[in-house]
Chain A
Amino acid sequence: MAPVAPRSGDAIFANIERVNAELFTLTYGAIVRQLLTDLEEVEEVNKQLEQMGYNIGIRLIDEFLAKSNVSRCVDFRETADVIAKVGFKMFLGVTASVSNWDAEGTCCSIILEDNPLVDFVELPDTCQGLYYCNILSGVIRGALEMVSMKTEVTWIHDVLRGDDVFELQVKLLKQVPEEYPYKDDE
């Protein structure tokens, strides 16, 4: 049985069902707006967005694995490449790039030039601490946790705050291998 080669992000993106980009952007905007009204504190909204992203990520990973046929990544570098080239392409239709590797290979930056979530968005003065796309950091954290990697994902640069690109820092904290879940005496 020949192993099936992993499909490229473009190929999957072409075959997958898509939704209108404006609908997507406006729906996300409505979510953030509602969270701001309900929670009022910008920090709380950031946390809530990250949590929502986490809940999405733990489900998204299965869809990603099923559709893209990637097998287990050998190391964190490969993981970051797969997230940037296949993952972002498949789900958001944008290609990201990976850079700024640290010496041990456990920390890198994923750079997005284009981000469909922020079309038409400007942050007002009252929301200066807001990470508008924080849902993405939650998604990555959730998805990686389901493949045994505990990570920390933070925003380094954010176009809505005046930078040129979106830059996410993904830091691998540790790999958590599978333990036998049942106690011996049960």
Chain B
Amino acid sequence: MQFFGGSEISPSPPVPTASGNNGHMIYMFNRNGVCLLYREWNPPLRTLNAQQDHKLMFGLLFSLKSLTVKMDPTSAEKGNLGVPQLPGQGCSFHSFRTNTYKLSFMESPSGIKIILVTHPRTGDLWDSLKYIYNLYVEYVVKNPLYTPGSPIRCQLFNTTLDQYMRGIA
């Protein structure tokens, strides 16, 4: 597993063809761990039920973030492991890559977390994540029928998101 996927140099293996397109999935969580959104485009294997899967994902990211902040060699102040952090404080972890998928992560200071799981050859998705955050603001936050903190049920948001993801797939 490589942390902070970005500028590592790897011998370029043959680019996977049709079968290489691993599941593209997206998760969005808010600061209380409520899963606001989960969508998938190339259905991957589901091994856990949805509830467990969301908790697992949220817990993974929460812990990873905590760990990465504590291990930061450039920061002066280090609390003990497990001390709660303010969202956005300290360094932010961006992505990790395994041999079968890449997971990209972005968290806003208001605690909205966006996670994209894509195939491993994807480049840096920071701008895409920012764009999806903007989409969230336009279609969800500004929607008066949406209650903040509840799962997203906005058709327009889903459609626009699907379109965007197809564009960058």
Contact = CB atoms under 8 A, between A and B. Distances in A.
Contacts of A72: 86-89, 109
Interface string A69-94: 01110000000000000000000000
Contact of B137 (A62, A177, A178, A186): A62
A58 B137 CA distance: 12
Nearest to A2: B126
Given A147-B87, A148-B87, A180-B59, A66 B137 contact: yes
Q: Interface majority SS on B: helix, strand, loop or mixed?
A: loop
A146 B110 contact: yes
A61 interface: yes
Contact of B109 (A147, A177, A182): A147
A29 to B, nearest CB: 21
B105 interface: no
B136 A62 contact: yes
Contacts of B87: 72, 147-148, 178
B85 interface: yes
Nearest to B55: A182
Interface residues of A, number: 24
Contacts of B120: none
A1 B124 contact: yes
Nearest to B34: A181
A154 to B, nearest CB: 24
A186 B55 contact: yes
A175 interface: yes
A175 B109 CA distance: 13
A179 B134 CA distance: 26
B148 A59 contact: yes
B47 interface: no
A148 B86 contact: yes
A61 B141 CA distance: 10
B47 to A, nearest CB: 19
A177 B110 contact: no
27 contacts: A1-B6, A1-B94, A58-B148, A59-B141, A62-B108, A62-B110, A62-B112, A62-B133, A62-B136, A62-B137, A65-B110, A66-B108, A66-B134, A67-B137, A71-B88, A146-B31, A146-B110, A146-B111, A177-B85, A178-B62, A178-B86, A179-B84, A180-B62, A180-B84, A181-B32, A181-B33, A182-B58
Nearest 9 interchain pairs by C-beta: A72-B88, A181-B33, A177-B84, A146-B110, A66-B137, A72-B109, A59-B141, A63-B137, A62-B141
Given A58-B148, A146-B111, 19 more contacts: A1-B124, A4-B130, A59-B142, A61-B110, A62-B136, A62-B137, A62-B141, A65-B108, A66-B134, A71-B88, A147-B87, A147-B109, A147-B110, A177-B84, A177-B86, A178-B62, A178-B84, A179-B84, A181-B32
Interface of B: 6, 31-33, 55, 58-59, 62, 83-89, 94, 108-112, 124, 126, 130, 133-134, 136-137, 141-142, 148
